[in-house]
Amino acid sequence: MRGLSSNKGFSLVELIIVIAILAILVGVMAPQLIKYIEKSKVSSDTQLCDAMYTAITIALADPNVISADDKSKDWIRDFTTPGADIHLYSGFYGSTWINCEFVRSVTETLGFNPWTTDNFEEGFKSTPGNASTGLMPCAKVNDTGTAFAVYLAWSDRTGHKEGENFNGDYTELEDSKVIFVK
């Protein structure tokens, strides 16, 4: 008779032990998961900067842009002026700047117009180092005017959320924390 009434469920102590083990595992894994998520966001932002760099490079070599009689010539001048700092968001430009052949070429290659996008938080995913500022795409031209880099101000390519507003020159990008492509 004793064999028929045996209880085959878990005791309260066994359940508490299992819950404690799960809590310890979550506590150990959560920081690693958070780091992984931020690094994937940094990777996504690097890819978007690379796409912008490629689109601008194509526009600078486009014969239609070179021969255009509009603000395209100013864009070409900016991207070939030694040491130039160029903002790649709409707050700095008027309609004649963002409706020229250069911007049309960039838009065609990129798939969107970065100068009419006011909210880059939709495109850029990583966490800005300065929460009140947000991420801002910029470009920096080297000292000879022969190359440029696209970077995100207030970003941190290490994923530690310690971003900085890069104010150095083209050669100092390697030593900075910002996300960049050159």
Positions of the chain with pLDDT under 50: 1
Of the candidates 81, 45, 59, the residue with the CA atom closest to the CA atom of residue 156: 45
Report helix, strand and coil shares of the chain as percent, to nearest 5. Answer: 50, 10, 40
Structure tokens at 166: 């890069």
pLDDT of residue 3: 55
The pLDDT value given to residue 58: 95
pLDDT of residue 137: 85
Answer yes or no: are the C-beta atoms of 152 and 178 closer than 8 Å: yes
Chain position carrying tokens 């045996």? 6
Query: pLDDT at position 92, please?
Result: 66
pLDDT of amino acid 125? 80
- Distance CA(58)–CA(79), nearest Å, equals 12
- Give the pLDDT of residue 156: 85
Q: What is the pLDDT of residue 129?
A: 66
Answer for the pair 148, 140: CB distance below 8 angstroms, yes or no.
Answer: yes
| pLDDT tens-place string over residues 161-176 | 777 778 888 989 888 8
